[in-house]
Amino acid sequence: MSETASKNFIEVIIEKDLAEGVYDTVHTRFPPEPNGYLHIGHAKSILLNYGLAKKYHGKFNMRFDDTNPTKEDIEFVESIKKDIQWLGADWEDRLFFASDYFGQMYEAAVKLIRKGKAYVSDLTADQIKEYRGSLTEPGREDPFSSRTVEENLKLFEEMKEGKYADGEKVLRARIDMASPNINMRDPVIYRVAHMSHHNTGDAWCIYPMYDFAHPIEDAIEGITHSICTLEFEDHRPLYDWVVRELEYPHPPKQIEFAKLYLKNVVTGKRYIKKLVQEGIVDGWDDPRLVSIAALRRRGFTPESIQRFVELCGVSKANSIADYAALEYCIREDLKPKAPRYMAVLDSVKLIIDNYPEDVTEMLPAVNNPDNSDLGSREIPFGRELYIEREDFMEEPPRKYFRLFPGNEVRLMNAYFVTCTGCVKDAEGRVTEVHCTYDPATRGGDSADGRKVKGTIHWVAAKTALPAQVRLYENIIDEEKGVYNEDGSLNLNPHSLTVMEDCKLEPAFAGASAYDRFQFVRQGFFAVDPKDGCGEKLVFNRIVSLKSSYVLPKE
């Protein structure tokens, strides 16, 4: 594939602008509103904006579009900063807030009034909507649009001074009430809102609307390419109108791309907020969600998310990605990185009747067969072990190659053992499995060339570490779809399974928050950063070992 063909359409635009001297540098930004936690879709925008700046040796700004104090909170500001830093996007010393520019935005509005391009209106929100018309009918002139420049300046100043109640007056841009684009039909650019702001406190009681504030922020910061998602395409004429009427010398260029959608996941802030408030999840970072904080807590790596974003690509066409693609990326990232240790999640005791009672033997094991740099360890082995309950059956089906009476299997890195029977409690539940071992098979191979079809993992009972393990499924019932007819979520009642009595080999001792491992035969797991480092380790399953995803052909 040629270098030219591999460029996405935004890179083509940028290179054309640089070649023609439209801009002599590239300056991008990521501008979230701090009204919730970021999710996987935002990761695409973050990495795209940062990646473009890095590729063209430009600059990347972090800026909070905090123009709506009714929904914003410092908690969200801090969570967003943490997410972006974790993803590897470095804003250096360029951290800004839209609220930093409230004074300049006010002066910009005054400039428009003086030019006859803005006026104060007394219409209510419902009346403004009615006057703006529809897709098939033009709008009607606002009855207050004929106010003089002097009257508008006086009223706008009084709005700023707090003389009017919320919704009593607004400032509208004077553009074109007959425009086929409804966004251009005299949009509201300032409203009265007697709200305390997380950054400016009570300094202001009027706040700019996003469509007015955003192009001003970009222009002030010297942004060259304002990269945003497709829903802002119809807003671009207003963006261009604002920077043109305010006569900025190097106006930024808005470019839209398709959002990243994931099939059968919840990203809507109001739905996640409801799940949090009702205690269905334990916070915005619950590992069943796809907020960046949730993915980080679950054990995903920044590299896996970067790879996923690359797989999805950049285009103008909306598409929906499969969650399996995200799982593929974390598997591929962790296969060479994560140590492979043995953990038994649903344990039953295995007793080797012919093994000495008071002997503990140390057996060598490679930490990761795919990465020799991770070295090796020694695993304690003894007469009593723990194995997975599903690795024994009294009456097995055909092609069951694990333990059952009379069958011989390999204990991973250890010996061949032959099942001799089991012990049950009064309810008929198996409490012990008994076997004998062949001392000549140390290391898991037979000197006489004898073959076995089954290999199972184990943990020595005497040195086993206790752990809790959390197994996750999609919080949505995928067979029913995301939403019910009434708009509520179709929740999966089995989205979380907690295994309380898990047994780990001693190599896990000292594991810290976010440490990642492959549990042999089980999947990839990470230490939970909230609950995982107490007396009992707590692990989140990041992803199982099996994948249904097929990498697309080049």
The dihedral built from the CA positions of residue 406, 408, 411 and 415, taken in this order, carries a sign that is positive
Residue 268 belongs to a domain: no
Whose structure tokens read 């609307």?
209
Both 347 and 458 in one domain: the answer is yes
Both 91 and 107 in one domain: the answer is no
Dihedral in degrees, nearest 10, Cα atoms 101, 102, 104, 107: 170
Whose structure tokens read 């590729």?
55
Residue 75 belongs to a domain: yes
Angle separating helix axes 40-55 and 9-19, nearest 10 degrees: 30
Q: Are 343 and 508 in contact (CB under 8 A)?
A: yes
Residue 124 belongs to a domain: yes
Residue 497 belongs to a domain: no
Both 158 and 217 in one domain: the answer is no
Residue 448 belongs to a domain: yes
Looking at residue 453, its pLDDT comes to: 93
Residue 369's domain is classified under what CATH number? 2.40.240.10
Neighbours of 444 (CB within 10 A): 16
Looking at residue 4, its pLDDT comes to: 44
Q: Which of 144, 173, 207 is the last residue of a domain?
A: 207
Both 79 and 62 in one domain: the answer is yes
Whole-model pTM over 0.85:
yes
Residue 322 belongs to a domain: no
DSSP assigned state of 337: T
Q: pLDDT by residue for the chain (554 residues), tens digit each?
A: 344 457 899 999 999 999 999 999 999 999 999 999 999 999 999 999 999 999 999 999 999 999 999 888 899 999 999 999 999 999 999 999 999 999 999 999 999 999 999 999 999 999 999 999 999 999 999 999 999 999 999 999 999 999 999 999 999 999 999 999 999 999 999 999 999 999 999 999 999 999 999 999 999 999 999 999 999 999 999 999 999 999 999 999 999 999 999 998 988 888 898 899 999 999 999 999 999 999 999 999 999 999 999 999 999 998 899 999 999 999 999 999 999 999 999 999 999 999 999 999 999 999 999 999 999 999 999 999 999 999 999 999 999 999 999 999 999 999 999 999 999 999 999 999 999 999 999 988 888 888 999 999 999 999 999 999 999 999 998 888 888 878 788 999 999 999 999 999 999 999 999 999 999 999 999 999 999 787 899 999 999 998 666 666 65
Q: CA-CA distance, 24 to 13, in Å (whole number)?
A: 13
Both 91 and 178 in one domain: the answer is no
List, as one string, the DSSP characters of 235-294: GHHHHHHHHHHTT-SS--EEEEE--EEETT----HHHHHHHHHTTSSSSTT-TTS-BHHH
Residue 178's domain is classified under what CATH number? 3.90.800.10
**CA distances from residue 303 to 83, 174, 251, 326, 406 in whole angstroms, order as listed:** 13, 47, 34, 11, 47
Q: Are 456 and 470 in contact (CB under 8 A)?
A: no
Residue 61's domain is classified under what CATH number? 3.40.50.620
Both 252 and 168 in one domain: the answer is no
Both 348 and 239 in one domain: the answer is no
Q: Which of 261, 278, 300 is the last residue of a domain?
A: 261
Both 44 and 10 in one domain: the answer is yes
Looking at residue 270, its pLDDT comes to: 86
Looking at residue 1, its pLDDT comes to: 35
Both 108 and 67 in one domain: the answer is no
Both 112 and 185 in one domain: the answer is yes
Both 83 and 226 in one domain: the answer is yes
Residue 319 belongs to a domain: no
Whose structure tokens read 């995803």?
549
Q: Are 548 and 324 in contact (CB under 8 A)?
A: yes
Q: Which of 436, 464, 492 is the last residue of a domain?
A: 464
- For the chain, helix (H) and strand (E) counts, in that order, are 13, 27
List, as one string, the DSSP characters of 507-547: GGTT--TT-EEEETTTEEEEE-TTTTBSSSEEEEEEE-S--
Both 124 and 79 in one domain: the answer is no
Domain count, the chain: 3
Residue 306 belongs to a domain: no
Domain extent at residue 247: 3-97+210-261
